[in-house]
Structure 1
């Protein structure tokens, strides 16, 4: 039954991802799908708990409800990331969402993964028969459908901007921490549902609750692995990552194609929430005056931001090539 609780938690996260359409670019629809799915799973678990009178199933329903808190954290983080620039934060708070994404990853590790392992080990020593297994299987089946819809929503959002990129490449290169968390949770949830379904089915067939306990342990380790992978990527974003490889290469190609620029000496990009910071050192062609060069640089910066709307800040430094 503990497995059911884990599944519920994952659902809440998925629904949250889809629940945020009003937040424009900072709110991927995936968060909304996740929130809806998780709420649906929580309702199914409460209904199953009422029907069976199972304390374990009720605990799982509570756990699923708590998982909605993960999505709420993401929503709150997205809202905080939209705060305007201030004297204290002159470039705005766009990267604040990374902090809340890391919190969700840690909750997934400790609340979902570690607790699942603990519960499974506990049931190995204090074996309890699984009652009304068919109810558990039905809830798992509904959870699979809802989680699949949530993952479909996340993948749909990913494919809008990366239609040809593999999921693993996107996972390693994305700069959207909230979508990364949602997709990771959904994938973990579906894999966990498969483990849980097999474990409950074996328990029902054999009457041996060890399978249910081992399923909980397996789900826990799976959650811990996914949460570690997600936390690793989000940590890199918090430390400070460049723009994604394709964006960085496109910006550099755009600048190298400018007639005003003789050569690019150095270029740095920095992802700042949904926006990008670009710093360029370049050797310019000869100009009759410093004012003419400044005007040329202004044109370059304006054209760059027009070609790449995500580039909010451009720091351009004309330079003499160094030996």
Structure 2
């Protein structure tokens, strides 16, 4: 009963934070950036599944005369715990090594910056946008942007300030935003420099 109550509370809190995302339960767990929350949900859910398997195994052995049921139940419980351990280690590892923001956030960032690109617009092209989670609700964003040659320093400052305001208003989790003014030619040169140096070393 206590495990059931704990699981219900954990899943309820998880669903509250998930909101109307349209994602399934497993997909939402994978998309979650809060290891504390999904660890509790998985731990409690695994405990409930394990208790259910143990109960069924005991009933099958005691009332059904199927003595192997206890052993099978133990193996199944071990499989459940193994699955949870593998799932959690993979998700937490991705956060430790710097997991990028969700696909919807990355698409939104590109959409916002792309509004400054076009005929008579100050931005010539978007070289690159990179994101990294520093915490459950803390995202670092760096963007390399090539401005048109006619753009003044004042316009660059205005566009940068406008982008920062728009992005942080739409995505409050973006707490660190750096926009680098870089020509497309320089960006491509920097991108190929490491591979060129590595080839020369060999």
TM-score w.r.t. the length of structure 2 is 0.77
In 2, the alpha carbon distance for the partners of 1:250 and 1:298 equals: 17
SS at 2:129's partner residue?
Answer: strand
**1:296 CA drift (Å):** 2.6
Q: Which has the higher helix share?
A: 1
The equivalent of 1:319 in structure 2 is: 182
In 2, the alpha carbon distance for the partners of 1:297 and 1:236 equals: 30
Verify: 1:149 aligned to 2:11, yes or no: no
Aligned residues: 181
Greater relative contact order, per chain length (Cα 8 Å cut-off, separation 6+): 1
Structure 1 residues 301, 218: closer, same or farther in 2, change over 3 A? same
Cα contact 2:11–2:41 (8 A) shared by 1: no
Cα contact 1:150–1:186 (8 A) shared by 2: no
In 1, the alpha carbon distance for the partners of 2:31 and 2:15 equals: 17
The equivalent of 1:99 in structure 2 is: none
Q: Which has the higher strand share?
A: 2
Structure 1 residues 151, 292: closer, same or farther in 2, change over 3 A? closer
**1:301 CA drift (Å):** 1.6
In 2, the alpha carbon distance for the partners of 1:261 and 1:180 equals: 41
**1:314 CA drift (Å):** 0.8
**1:168 CA drift (Å):** 2.8
Verify: 1:247 aligned to 2:109, yes or no: no
**1:187 CA drift (Å):** 3.0
**1:287 CA drift (Å):** 4.7
| From 197, 200, 212, the counterpart of 2:70 | 212
Which runs of 5 or more residues in structure 1 are unaligned? 1-39, 42-142
The equivalent of 1:261 in structure 2 is: 123
Which runs of 5 or more residues in structure 2 are unaligned? 189-202
Say what the alpha-carbon RMSD is for the aligned residues: 2.4
In 1, the alpha carbon distance for the partners of 2:91 and 2:167 equals: 28
Residues 34-61 of structure 1, C-alpha deviation per residue, up to 9 Å, x if partnerless? Answer: xxxxxx63xxxxxxxxxxxxxxxxxxxx
In 1, the alpha carbon distance for the partners of 2:151 and 2:125 equals: 19
Residues 100-130 of structure 1, C-alpha deviation per residue, up to 9 Å, x if partnerless? Answer: xxxxxxxxxxxxxxxxxxxxxxxxxxxxxxx
In 2, the alpha carbon distance for the partners of 1:205 and 1:299 equals: 71
Cα contact 2:144–2:182 (8 A) shared by 1: yes
In 2, the alpha carbon distance for the partners of 1:148 and 1:172 equals: 18
| From 160, 169, 172, the counterpart of 2:30 | 172
**1:214 CA drift (Å):** 3.4
